Amino acid sequence: MQTNLADLIKDTHEGREAEAILRTCVHCGFCLATCPTYQLLNDELDSPRGRIYLMKEVLEGRVATQKTQLHLDRCLTCRACETVCPSGVRYGRLVDICRNVVEKQVERSVRTKTIRYALRQILPNPSIFMVLLKIGQAVRSLLPKKIRNSVPSKARDEGVWPPARHKRKMLVLDGCVQPAIAPNINAATARILDKIGISLIKVEKANCCGAISYHLNAQQEGLDYMRRNIDAWWRYFDNHADHGVEAIVMTASGCGVTVKEYGHYLSHDHIYVEKAARISELTKDISEILEDEAEKLTPLFNNTGSCTKRSKLAFHSPCTLQHGLQIHGVVENILTTAGFDLTFVQDGHICCGSAGTYSILQPQLSKQLLENKIKTLESSKPAQIVTANIGCLTHLQSGTPLIIKHWIEVLDEKLCSH
Ligand code: SF4
Ligand code: SF4
């Protein structure tokens, strides 16, 4: 694609990056069929290719309108289009850059600005979120059904977190909303890793990965969250440290995809560039860790005896896992090896509609995607549905009476360690 970027962005690192991305698109349209919003709205401007045209126009100097903003807002940033693109167009990065430009040109309504600001203040702040969640849970039964379904019910008991007794150690990101909604996820991870000789350590000062603010176009704020996490983790990895820490484990694929890209996000920050790249290298999704440790893990499944019976599971692979991290089949393989029967899920590549704050900011499209997803997940009558990201877990739970869990929780139950 020929480009001629406007002065407003031409000589910035974002401009150079956007230009390089735009030039890789050959307009083939292979991405259209896989785009959830194009499937629902059947409008080229709600497809990846259409949005790329819109973004090109804005970056070339045409002033964005509310319509431009609407089409970009409707994008889930699910990155399904990246998975199928034969030219390797890094659509997710392009939309991040362009949304920031549009945000400066198009004034949002006071109501929308307030909601977006509140989301940035509440979600990344675990203590505020915990208080509000507890209030919501206390009055849950009094709320209208529509709102009630979106308030997560009380968290499952997290059980025991094993003491740090092994030589091999890994850090884990607690994240922002996960400790309040599902503390059992990280505790289950700690128990499983403990069984294969790895101690899992929480680092108090590492919290939100920065994705919420960044994707709400408060990009500097998002970068500050990233820097804070790097500072919190760095003492375990600097050259003089000998803590025996091998990796940083992510149990929410949404955070994982962000932390794995810290090196890129901070590539223009001369103070953090090297540390960020190192942190990204050390970051692994829990499925990658368990895949690497298969030799130690697999024999444990043979000793589960009568603890759990064989059960049918439907696995929803989050977009951040399959399109962002490009991890395919790893969780499925671990669950099958553990003795679970996995159902076939039609259109498994399509987003469930959670997409960070999308379910709040685009409720209608999100609801449609949720209904479609629940239908496909339930079609083979699974006993349970499992996923790999707290946002998807909460969103899916709002659409079904079936219990939704993180896949690591059912693995923990299988090993009778909860
Ligand atoms: S598939 Fe890739 S190259 Fe083709 S139109 Fe979509 S983004 Fe452009
Ligand atoms: S990121 Fe998802 S919603 Fe956005 S254009 Fe790509 S496929 Fe469509």
Torsion sign over Cα 299, 303, 304, 309? positive
Give the nearest ligand 2 atom to 38 CA. 8
Pocket of ligand 2 (CB under 6 A): 34-37, 48, 51, 75-81, 91
**Structure-model confidence comparison of residues 154 and 411, the more confident one:** 411
Residue nearest to atom 6 of ligand 1 (CA): 31
pTM of the model: 0.94
Distance 92 CA to ligand 1 centre (A): 13
Distance 129 CA to ligand 1 centre (A): 39
Q: How far is CA 129 from CA 133, 208, 223, 342, in A?
A: 6, 12, 21, 34
When the pLDDT of each residue in the chain is averaged and rounded to a whole number, the result is 94
Structure-block tokens of residue 385? 């549905």
Inform me whether the pLDDT recorded for 1 exceeds 90. Answer: no
Inform me whether the pLDDT recorded for 26 exceeds 70. Answer: yes
Residue nearest to atom 2 of ligand 1 (CA): 85
Would you tell me how many other CB atoms lie within 10 Å of the CB of residue 140? 15
Residues 125-141: what's their mean pLDDT?
A: 89
Contacts of 237 (CB under 8 A, 6+ apart): 245, 278, 279, 282
Span 162-213, pLDDT tens digits:
999 999 999 999 988 999 999 999 999 999 999 999 999 999 889 899 999 9
Inform me whether the pLDDT recorded for 306 exceeds 60. Answer: no
308 confidence band (pLDDT: 50, 70, 90): low
pLDDT at 247: 96
Give the nearest ligand 1 atom to 84 CA. 1
